[in-house]
Amino acid sequence: MASNVQKLVRNNPHFSEEVEAHCQELLNSTALNQSPINDTIRAYAIDDADTKDVDDAIAIEKFDDYFVLHVLITDAAALIPLQSVLGEEAKKRGNTLYLPDGRVPMLPRVLSEGILSLGEGKSNQVLDFRIALTADFRPYDMRIELMRVPNIRSISYARADQILA
């Protein structure tokens, strides 16, 4: 059952002029360019073929006797001040609602499909949840790091299934 806030947002999926203006200010921010680039990780964002707001990706590195799993999440918090008009709106919405007749985004598309979207050729800042695994896939260490990863390839669920098959 949707909360009252979600019902309100669902009935008015558009953003105010004030929120949209704040987004335009953020487009010139350098906040997402503060962390080092790691161009050795080859990551995959797996989504529907028509997804434009790519906000997560995975990668796995194999070493002689262990693996490292990377779960990469767009660092939206580095760009959007929590107490700003946009931060307050995002808190109110909570998440993007995916509905049978469309979606109600948590963030304006100019951000979620633009500078906060991961993809090839981009070097967006991410939170890297790095999990070290033994050769038989038991976790033994976890770290969270900020980095920029330019080698993120978007693939569809169908393509991911083909690769795994």
Residue 124 CA to residue 115 CA, distance in Å, equals 7
Bridge pairing between strands 152-156 and 43-47: parallel
Taking every pair of C-alpha atoms in the chain, what is the biggest distance, in angstroms? 54
Q: How far apart are CA 152 and CA 126, in angstroms?
A: 11
Print pLDDT tens along the chain (165 aa).
Answer: 456 555 655 666 789 999 999 999 898 888 888 899 999 999 999 998 888 889 999 999 999 999 999 999 999 999 999 999 999 999 988 888 877 877 788 999 999 998 899 988 788 899 999 999 999 999 999 999 999 998 899 999 999 999 889
Q: What is the pLDDT, as a whole number, of residue 64?
A: 94
